[in-house]
Each structure stands twice: as structure tokens, then as C-alpha cells.
């Protein structure tokens, strides 16, 4: 993570849980498309004519978006699940988000 970038992981995890639990998130709609979310996101950097990727930048929000897109694709393909897990540390109980890889 670059200096000055915040850790966006917890926010991304919460947002993904909200997306996956939404009635409007229909995995079949994603399965019917030829282009996956992560592929479409990568094409945003791509110069259609030359194939170059000019001005490519890296930051925590950008990596967060790429990670979320890949997780959505894997979820739609049935390769993983996202769940909450209860944990405790030094007697303090809390919830955390866990990616569960499904057996194939």
C-alpha cells in the first residue's frame, strides 16, 4: 500500500456483502454476459487503438476496485462465498468477513 493510502479492505468487504445479499444482484445476468466484470474494468485503462495502457496509476482505491471485481466474478462462477465469522481477541468479540473457497 502506498504511503498515505488508507486500508479500504473492511469497506470493500462490507460493500461486497451488501451486493451479494441484495435482491437486485442476480448472478444469472452476469453469467449470460461474455465479458466478466474484472475484464471490463481492465478495459477502462486500455487504449482501444494502440493497445497501450497510458497513465496507469496505482492506489489503494484502484486496487480495491480491481479486487472487488475479481471477487464478484468468482462469486458469480460459484467458486467462492463471502461470510461473516465471529472472532475474539483478548476477550473482545467482533465480526470479520471471510472469503470461503468452494470445493470443485
3-state secondary structure of 94: strand
Give the model confidence (pLDDT) of 9-66 as tens digits: 778 888 888 888 899 999 898 888 888 888 887 777 777 788 776 666 677 777 788 8
CA angle 52, 1, 98 (to 5 degrees): 105
Q: What is the pTM of this model?
A: 0.72
With the CA atoms of 62, 68, 72 and 77 taken in that order, what torsion angle do they form, in degrees rounded to the nearest 10? 90
Q: Which helix (H) or strand (E) holds 83?
A: strand 80-89
Q: How far is CA 2 from the centre of its chain?
A: 19
Amino acid at each position: 500500500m502506498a504511503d498515505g493510502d488508507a486500508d479500504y479492505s473492511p469497506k470493500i468487504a462490507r460493500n461486497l456483502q451488501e451486493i451479494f445479499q441484495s435482491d437486485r444482484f442476480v448472478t444469472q445476468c452476469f453469467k449470460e454476459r461474455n465479458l466478466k466484470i474484472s475484464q471490463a474494468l481492465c478495459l477502462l485503462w486500455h487504449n482501444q487503438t494502440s493497445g497501450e495502457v497510458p497513465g496507469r496509476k496505482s492506489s489503494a482505491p484502484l486496487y480495491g476496485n480491481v479486487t472487488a471485481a475479481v471477487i464478484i466474478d468468482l462469486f458469480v462462477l460459484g467458486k467462492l462465498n463471502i461470510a461473516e465469522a465471529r472472532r475474539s481477541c483478548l476477550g473482545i468479540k467482533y465480526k470479520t468477513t471471510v472469503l470461503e473457497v468452494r470445493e470443485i
